């Protein structure tokens, strides 16, 4: 536990646009965190809302002067631009980034600053949890996906001292480091991955902090999910193309970074493999064994990956649940859908389609514990 006199100041940046359904809940959560009010500030960057978001924020800013600041932007062109705009106004030593749908746990800030007692750490990524997991079968599945991503993937990378990417929510970065690297790249569709790679390229250390927890809303229908994931895939691919030169100065962390960035490109190859597999089974070609070999290879890789995911599904819940294996068929279908979305995102890049930041609508639904949507 960090002594009170040594607690750093924390600036919490929240970019918002049309968030009336979740804005009150977020501000109430941050006002009630276990951290001295004089040591934290909440900066809301309003980005051209057409609903009651501004009204709600102004009410809180007036009631909690000195704790909440509302900054209104004259233009609206995406989250990374809003973050840079807010960065000019922050006073804290640590900059925290949260989306409007988040509900941090009361000890989130206190636990986060403990990591920065180690001067070598430039940033940390907290554990994000699904606030609306029980809304429907899709949100339940995404909650498991998120648990596997955080508690298996990120934790494993952290233990092995590999590349730990930030996730855009519940992330904390030293302000002086942010200013040194020039903040966020405003053209990025996945600003979290871009800033992660930029930090790593600068030799900065990012840690995963599983005890720093915040609850966030997951897409509740397939249309929202498809739009969100398409943006993510395109954003990740563009970051990979932008930072491919890193491999010229390889070390273990840089190599892992490049492998991570290459991940989205594997989905189109996976789709090609599926098509070749189907072709090989329907139209066997005797003189050329390549399609058959690829078909068997794809089948084997799919089985191996499903086995790994099956093990992760059992262990990510407490207590462990064998029944989670029933999700495997759904996961297989989900992966198949992801291959099409990633391929579509790649086509958008190849054909230079317009790049546009799209936000995921929030409903304010909370199904976990006593996290109830607060409307003002």
In tens, the pLDDT along 125-180 reads: 999 999 999 999 899 889 988 988 998 899 999 999 999 999 999 999 999 999 99
Mean of per-residue pLDDT scores for the chain: 89
Res 85 pLDDT > 90: yes
The reported pLDDT for the residue numbered 197 is 97
Q: Which of 119, 203, 126 is nearest to 170 (CA)?
A: 126
The domains located in the chain, with CATH, are 10-220 (3.90.550.10), 252-350 (no CATH)
Q: Binning pLDDT at 50, 70 and 90, where does residue 48 land? A: confident
The reported pLDDT for the residue numbered 157 is 96
Q: Binning pLDDT at 50, 70 and 90, where does residue 289 land? A: low
Residue 191, CB half-sphere, CA atoms under 13 Å: how many?
A: 24
DSSP element (H, E) containing 223: helix 222-242
Angle at 64 (CA atoms; ends 63, 67), nearest 5 degrees: 160
- State phi, psi for 273 to the nearest 5 degrees: -65, -40
DSSP string, 284-329: --SS--HHHHHHHHHHHHHHHHHHHHHHHHHHSSSS--GGGGGGHH
Residue with more model confidence, 287 or 42:
42
Q: CA-CA distances (angstroms) from residue 145 to 11, 18, 55, 74, 358?
A: 30, 27, 35, 37, 22
pTM of the entire predicted model: 0.90
Question: Which residues does 221 contact at the CB level (< 8 Å), separation at least 6?
Answer: 138
Would you state the torsion angle of the CA atoms of residues 110, 113, 115, 120, taken in this order, to the nearest 10 degrees?
180
């Amino acid at each position: 536990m960090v002594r009170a006199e040594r607690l750093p100041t924390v600036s919490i940046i929240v970019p918002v646009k049309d968030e009336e359904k979740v804005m009150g809940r977020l501000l109430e959560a941050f006002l009630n965190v276990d951290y001295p009010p004089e040591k934290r500030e909440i900066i809301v960057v309003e980005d051209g809302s057409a609903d009651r978001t501004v009204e709600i924020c102004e009410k809180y800013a007036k009631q909690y002067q000195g704790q909440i600041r509302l900054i209104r932007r004259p233009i609206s062109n995406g989250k990374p631009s809003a973050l840079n705009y807010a960065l000019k106004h922050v006073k804290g030593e640590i900059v925290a980034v949260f989306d409007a749908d988040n509900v941090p746990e009361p000890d989130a800030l206190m636990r986060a600053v403990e990591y920065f007692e180690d001067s070598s750490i430039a940033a940390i990524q907290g554990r994000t949890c699904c606030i609306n997991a029980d809304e429907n079968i899709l949100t339940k599945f995404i909650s498991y996906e998120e648990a596997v991503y955080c508690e298996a993937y990120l934790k494993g990378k952290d233990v092995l001292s590999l590349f730990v990417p930030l996730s855009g929510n519940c992330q904390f970065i030293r302000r002086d480091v942010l200013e040194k690297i020039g903040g966020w790249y405003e053209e990025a569709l996945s600003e979290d991955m871009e800033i992660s790679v930029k930090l790593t390229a600068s030799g900065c250390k990012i840690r995963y902090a599983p005890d720093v927890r915040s609850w966030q809303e997951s897409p509740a229908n397939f249309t929202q999910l498809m739009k969100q994931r398409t943006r993510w895939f395109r954003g990740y691919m563009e970051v990979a193309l932008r930072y491919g030169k890193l491999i010229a100065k390889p070390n273990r962390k840089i190599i892992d970074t490049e492998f991570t960035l290459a991940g989205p490109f594997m989905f189109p190859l996976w789709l090609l493999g599926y098509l070749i597999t189907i072709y090989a089974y329907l139209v066997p070609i005797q003189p050329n064994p390549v399609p058959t070999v690829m078909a068997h290879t794809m089948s084997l890789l799919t089985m191996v990956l499903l086995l790994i995911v099956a093990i992760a599904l059992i262990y990510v819940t407490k207590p462990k649940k064998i029944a989670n294996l029933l999700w495997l068929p759904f996961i297989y279908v989900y992966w198949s859908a992801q291959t099409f979305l990633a391929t579509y995102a790649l086509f958008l890049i190849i054909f230079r389609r317009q790049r546009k930041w799209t936000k995921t609508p929030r409903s304010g639904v909370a199904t976990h514990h006593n996290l109830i949507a607060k409307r003002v």
